[in-house]
Structure 1
Amino acid sequence: GGSGVVVLPCGAGKTLVGAAAMAEAKATTLILVTNTVAGRQWKRELIARTSLTEEEIGEYSGERKEIRPVTIATYQVLTSRKKGTFTHLDLFGARDWGLVVYDEVHLLPAPIFRFTADLQARRRLGLTATLVREDGREGDVFSLIGPKRYDAPWKDIESQGWIAPAECTEVRVTLTDAERMSYATAEAEERYRMAATARTKLPVVKALVDRHPDDQVLVIGGYIDQLHQLGEYLDAPIVQGSTTNKERERLFDAFRSGEVRTLVISKVGNFSIDLPEAAVAIQVSGTFGSRQEEAQRLGRVLRPKADGRQAHFYTVVSRDTIDTEYAAHRQRFLAEQGYAYTIVDADDVLGPKLPTVD
């Protein structure tokens, strides 16, 4: 029973791969996930797609401590300490786990690396959409879990109809003279934030949202003030770090059902939270353009549309600023993944300007 890492684009059925491994292993399974929302998503999917019942799946999180034949535990609860000692590590020894599944293995916290190294598990399965770790420790993942078993290039999965072909468009906005001046005189570390959060982007984002009147649209930003600005400008609800799980689930459900059409989300949206499908994503600002985040973020949108419609990924960038440089990283990454990438001017999105009357 080999162990290994499976690299799949987001949305390409990681839970199904996990379920298949579980069926194969026919053994008690520990599934490690990034947060409770992701855990509940796993539970929902497993109940929907396998013969497992609600009673057979336990949640081991800050809120509940259930150990069942299939137990879903959060990385957080396992790394929490009391008086310097890790309190929940006995979970690993609680059963002779036949299979351990690591969801979003590239986010696996370092202490978990160390504990799981001596786990009793016979099989380990690491699932990830990307094997770029921010701390450069990809090698650890392989030494811990086993070799990379399967790496699905996005294009191949797409051509098999698993992921909607996405059209990526970078929209370049010209800053106003005042914004340019503030940018020019800003300290180096402030520059990205200023370029990324320029108010000039707002009408462009609105025009992009209006371009897709029949689609669910996610608007993604990296800065709290900007999220509020976007929420107000688009008259759309916001999901950010401080949003409670309950409220987040409520908004996601409203978005899924089409009751909410546009949702503004902060980068919290990246980490395996069961983001609802959207046909359109508009990124207004990120943080330093890490490839891992790009993969995550794009994968959230690239779900097959039932009617075969195209998915769209827009990124709105301030011209002649560091924002454009970050966009170049993104462009390179997307090009490597085989996506078409187009750069357009904001005016093309905003449409012809009406002539001014003296």
Structure 2
Amino acid sequence: MPSPDRNPLIVQSDRSILLETENPRYEEARNQIKSFSELIKSPEHFHTYRVTPISLWNALASGWTAEQIITCLTEFSRFPLPHNILFDVEDYAERFERFRLIRDDAGRLVLEADQPDLITEIIQQKSVTPYLLRPLGVRQIEISPAVRATLKLALMKIGFPVDDRAGYEKGKPLTFEFRKKTKSGEPWRLRPYQEEGVRAFLEKRDGGGVIILPCGAGKTFVGLGVMKAVGAHTLILTTSRSAMRQWESELLERTTLSPKKIGHYDGEKKSIAPVTLATYSLLSYRKKGELIHFTRLLKEDWGLVIFDDVHLLPTPLLEAAKSLQNRLRLGLSSTTSREDDKAEEVYCFIGPKRFDPPWQRLEAEGWRPKARCEEIRIRLSEEERFAYTMARNDEKYRIAATSSRKIAYVEQLLSRHPDDAILIIGHYLDQLERLRERIDAPIITSKMPREERERLYEAFRAGTLRVLIVSKVANFSTDLPEANVVVQLSGNYGSRQEEAQRIGRLLKPGPAGEEARFYMLVARDTKDQEYAAKRQLCLIEQGYAYEIHESPL
């Protein structure tokens, strides 16, 4: 065992963890602690994680124990663990699922504690008592089904995550099989880790749960596996219409479901079928304060509701998910982090984390490409720096993100990768047009006709087109070709999820199996750099190597 003074972690009494990035055991430690802590910031030399109640409870829900967490911290820590860390981990683990929601023999919804004194304790809590009906003994209290989700959140807020075993409605039956070969003739079956994800969800499916997989690892296929096992009418909620099309394509390509069994509930048509696809944006629409489309779909007898990219579920719909506690709920995501810090609501309203396999396993088995992310910091020209300094605050990011020196650096990257398939992505169309003129490469935008877009995609896949420029349509397009080099000119402010979407869906190994590359061009000492630091968190959280370099320009 390595000497403790060479270990990569410094565990502090405020439950923060400093991880030394240049330590030989960096990756080994990172791949462990990410399961029970949250990445807070990631400067060059030390990344800061924090152990929180919700991160610990999600870890426990997915199979970790308090002993394993303490053993892991001890193994990688440079110094002895602070005493309060040992106490906190054990205390939060002891609080884990000491309350259960069950149905009694009379069919009543009951909150059950493992000790009578816990019932006495929560009766004294003003934030909890409005949701309690009447005692049913020293360890049980009757609960109204209408407050099932709200009660779980109230108890979590006072330190008691609830084990929801009250069950759900089975829904109308729906049976289908997986094809041994896809419609296009390729052999197909779930990958081993995808089968594990299905099993992990089904083992504790009394209410619901979340499956965590990196972007590009096939979360959709886990959803198909759960659908097949549950065998009931399914509502699939997605981030966009393109994501809806992807789900429909995979359902038809890999299962025996016919097109008439799949309905689209969107702005163009509102057909409801045994498998119905809808978007978050449409279901978030309110009329006179009511989520009219969400309410309409609730009237159907669903046996399963799937939340695709649940970390992007809009807050109004997350709140509305409180009314889905009698349905089996599956969340699919690449991260437990949310921009609105509503992780507790996801845990209580959708379900806790059930499966989160280590990245190194997927890479070792060849299911995920090894990729290196490089942030290239570019200095603004004197003219640009002056414009940036004088600009209003809301104009500064655009000035920095569209620096002309980024285009010059792209030309250097193209000469550095003469044989690679390169996708260049940007947020601002005028910047992409200037780049197109400089490098003579086609540009794809959301306004391009689908036939022309497909022609360019096919040429890129075939290798007859080496460089392709793509607008922000890349964030959620499901038909983009893969590349082994991706260059990002500008991003969507500080969105952490956008980075994961791009790298996970686009990158593939190089011609000789070498690492794929993801270059982010960032204007130094500007809001561009500030926002890049936020987006960087998601890439490190996803397990990608991340380096920062200064441009000579």
Tell me the TM-score range normalised by the shorter chain: 0.7 to 0.9
What's 1:233 paired with? Answer: 438
Distance 2:434 2:255 in 1: 43
Q: CA deviation at 1:160?
A: 2.7
Paired amino acid for 2:222: V
Q: Secondary structure at the match of 2:293?
A: coil
Distance 2:536 2:343 in 1: 23
Q: Is the 8 A contact 1:34 1:74 kept in 2?
A: yes
What's 2:269 paired with? Answer: 64
Distance 1:180 1:17 in 2: 48
Distance 1:136 1:129 in 2: 16
Residue 30 in structure 1 maps to residue 205 in structure 2: no
Q: Is the 8 A contact 1:38 1:274 kept in 2?
A: no
Distance 1:82 1:224 in 2: 34
Paired amino acid for 1:162: W
Q: CA deviation at 1:165?
A: 0.3
Q: Secondary structure at the match of 1:130?
A: coil
Distance 2:289 2:464 in 1: 46
Residue 318 in structure 1 maps to residue 523 in structure 2: yes
Q: CA deviation at 1:249?
A: 6.0
Q: Is the 8 A contact 1:97 1:121 kept in 2?
A: no
Of 312-321 and 299-308, the range deviating more from structure 2: 299-308
CA separation of 1:15 and 1:179: change in aligned 2, threshold 3 A: same
What's 1:53 paired with? Answer: 258
CA separation of 1:42 and 1:234: change in aligned 2, threshold 3 A: farther
Q: How does 1:1-358 map to 2 (within 5 A)?
A: 2=205, 3-81=208-286, 85-89=290-294, 91-119=296-324, 122-240=327-445, 252=457, 255-258=460-463, 260-271=465-476, 273-303=478-508, 308-331=513-536, 333-347=538-552
Q: In the comparison of the two structures, how many residue pairs are matched?
A: 348
What's 2:174 paired with? Answer: none
Q: CA deviation at 1:32?
A: 0.8
Distance 1:146 1:82 in 2: 28
Distance 2:538 2:311 in 1: 17
Distance 2:444 2:287 in 1: 31
CA separation of 1:237 and 1:288: change in aligned 2, threshold 3 A: same
Which 5+ residue runs of structure 2 have no aligned equivalent?
1-201
**Higher RCO structure, 1 or 2 (CA under 8 Å, sep 6+):** 1
Of 44-53 and 101-110, the range deviating more from structure 2: 44-53
Q: Which has the larger radius of gyration?
A: 2
Paired amino acid for 2:314: P
Distance 2:489 2:389 in 1: 20
Distance 2:290 2:456 in 1: 37
CA separation of 1:20 and 1:249: change in aligned 2, threshold 3 A: same
Q: CA deviation at 1:33?
A: 0.9
CA separation of 1:150 and 1:306: change in aligned 2, threshold 3 A: farther
Paired amino acid for 1:172: R
Q: Is the 8 A contact 2:423 2:469 kept in 1?
A: yes
Identity, % of aligned pairs? 52
Paired amino acid for 1:47: L
Q: CA deviation at 1:152?
A: 3.4
Q: Is the 8 A contact 1:37 1:245 kept in 2?
A: no
TM score, norm. by length of structure 2? 0.56
Q: Is the 8 A contact 2:420 2:466 kept in 1?
A: yes
Paired amino acid for 2:247: W
Paired amino acid for 2:436: G
Q: Is the 8 A contact 2:242 2:476 kept in 1?
A: no
Q: Secondary structure at the match of 1:200?
A: helix
CA separation of 1:182 and 1:15: change in aligned 2, threshold 3 A: same
Of 256-265 and 159-168, the range deviating more from structure 2: 256-265
TM score, norm. by length of structure 1? 0.84
Q: Is the 8 A contact 1:11 1:303 kept in 2?
A: no
